[in-house]
Amino acid sequence: MTHPHDDRMEVYSPGGMFDGRLIQQLNPLTVPSKRRNPLLADFFHRLKLMERRGSGMKKIIGEYKRFENLENYHAPEFSSNATEFHVTLWNLNYGVDVVKDNPYVIKEANDVVKDVVKETDDVVKGKANVTKEFAKVQRQIYKLISQTPQISAAQMSENMGISLRQVQRYLKQLSDQNLIVREGGRKNGVWKILDDEYEGFFKRI
């Protein structure tokens, strides 16, 4: 979500840092890239829909650094808490009357801000789309398990209209997050939902 102002552009994304730390207390150039859902991230990377490792903050800082000698220079700002992540992109020509003296600098600064805003917004939208898609699959799997606890991955694949390999990836991801568990053998076993938020889950659909 973006909030444009005359002097800056603020970009908001739900969800804080993966490890709970605050980005404003860290060096954004050295923060390690950690994926919240490695399997899902790898899947979307193979589809060319996202990077294998995040590089957005380094790209933003690198683009702004080209203009650090401007009188009105402000470095991009990053802040986070447990539930939110914010990026502030400053308008480098706000309040500076140098258009007549050096219009090229102003055009370059404007182009950089536009490019960075677009890239940041694309990352936020991509994250939202990935989360939305996974939530949809999660609902389908929960519903199938509720109806038939002994259901197999092959039967889920047939019901959901996706490949067996995709179903197995989603099941492993849900299992790794301790949201579901398979009890018993492959033939006689049953699925059990461990998700604490499962109660009333389908009422929210």
76-87 pLDDT tens trace: 999 999 888 999
140-204: CATH number: 1.10.10.10
Q: What is the phi/psi pair of residue 15, to 5°?
A: 100, 130
Of the candidates 14, 179, 30, the one whose C-alpha atom is nearest the C-alpha of residue 86 is 14
The per-residue pLDDT of the chain, averaged, comes to 78
pTM listed for this prediction: 0.45
Which tens digit of pLDDT belongs to each residue from 81-120? 988 899 999 988 777 655 455 555 555 556 666 666 665 6
Which tens digit of pLDDT belongs to each residue from 155-205? 999 999 999 999 998 899 888 888 899 998 777 899 999 887 665 555 444
pLDDT at residue 145 tops 90: yes
Outline where 148-187 has alpha helix (H): 153-160, 164-176
Amino acid at 189: G
Which residues are CB-neighbours of 145 under 8 A, at least 6 positions away? 151, 180, 191, 192, 193
Domain residues of the chain, as ranges? 2-129, 140-204
Q: Which helix (H) or strand (E) holds 119?
A: helix 103-147
**Measured distance CA(113)–CA(117) in Å, rounded:** 6
